[in-house]
A and B are shown apart, each in its own frame.
Chain A
Amino acid sequence: MSSVASDPVTSSSISGMMKPGLSSDELGRLLEGRFGLKRDPRTLQDLCLLCPSAQLREVVSFLRDDVSLRFATVLDIIGVDYLAFPDHRGPRFAVVYLFKSVEFRQRVALKVEIEEDLASVPSITDLYLSANWAEREVWDQYGITFIGHPNPSKRLLNHHEFIGHPLRKDYPCQKRQKLSINDPMIDQLEERLKERGYTVIDPGNTNESKPITPRQGGAS
């Protein structure tokens, strides 16, 4: 049966021992009773709970560590911009966390509403490793900062000379931004090598590329 080892994230008895978990209603009531989280009225199908930013880490730790819940995976972290949403009253941004429990066949979503001028939320990177890039993507596209993130201002999808946050509704969608020198990512490569035990001897010249110029029949 499910042995409760000391590390709650990695020990899960996935091998054919999926147990029926709480139903969505029961889970909603449990979290409401324990933390005071209300259901989001806009989310029709899945269970989505509105969570204040201050309580986020507490709730997420509970979801991950509790023996009867075991939400061991965060599937995605999604940013939402309600600027153009019809009849919207309330904060401009929201961040939605999708959790899944493979052991109990259960999903839950947490929605954290964020004011525009503050635009920050605690990071859950130390709780879930996959939150690292997911939060970086939300920062990249929406500009929402994650406090405590190990690599907070590094672009994930857009290039490193990009200015602005393109998935915000006030960013003109067709505005393109050219890149002059691409990022060879030598620093990240060296980091990975060191993690694996290699010694990096010669860092080398990381930015040998010359900027690209508009095509005037010119090889650089």
Chain B
Amino acid sequence: MTYTNVPSPVSPSIDLGDSFVTTRVDAVVNWARRNSLWPFPFGTACCAIEFMGAVSSMFDISRFGAELVRFSPRQADLLIVAGTVTYKQAPVLRRIYDQMLEPRWVISMGACATSGGFYDCYCTVPGIDEIIPVDMYIAGCPPRPEAILEAVVQLQKRIDRESIKEQKTVGA
């Protein structure tokens, strides 16, 4: 697959295409990104407790690189929405997501964040993908810590397939 006129990040007039340079750059960049996913736990309910379990020493998410849990969206690159999101909370979630810098990924953890869970009622958002784009969904109520770890690993595999040729520009 060849791309014509793919501008390099360095200068728009240099055409990269599909070459040795881009694949090597991809490999390095993706390796760096997947092994240093800093989570921002947007924990609202019980899934946050389970996330705490995943971060603790027994299940240890930090062996996958996601060690530094940052509580500011401006310093994190992985938004983990753990818990129920209501319509009252929805603008807040959107604002937090908007404050994150590229590259950013979103994991929707648990039944409530994925689909509203068992709260089929007047106040719950039926899935956070109504509000923000989601990369990984974790099923469970709450999911086992092992499931959270599997989601992180799957996300890492997905990051491996990314390329600088497809620059993600949201809303440009």
Contact = CB atoms under 8 A, between A and B. Distances in A.
Contact of A212 (B91, B120, B124, B126): B91
Interface string B85-125: 01110111011001000000000000000000000111111
Contacts of A178: 87, 90
A179 B122 contact: no
Report whether over half of chain A's contact residues are helix, strand or loop; otherwise say mixed. loop
Contact of B131 (A157, A175, A177, A215): A215
Instruction: Indicate the size class of the contact surface on chain A.
Output: 20 to 34
Contacts of A52: none
Given A176-B122, A220-B171, 7 more contacts: A166-B123, A179-B88, A182-B90, A212-B90, A214-B130, A215-B129, A219-B170
B132 interface: yes
Report whether over half of chain B's contact residues are helix, strand or loop; otherwise say mixed. loop
B9 interface: no
Given A166-B122, A171-B122, A176-B126, A218 B171 contact: yes
Contacts of B171: 217-220
Contact of A215 (B120, B121, B123, B130): B130
A176 B130 CA distance: 13
Contact of A179 (B90, B121, B133, B170): B90
Nearest to A166: B122
Contacts of B98: 219-220
Nearest to B125: A176
A105 interface: no
Contacts of A180: 91
A173 B122 CA distance: 6
Contact of A159 (B87, B121, B126, B131): B87
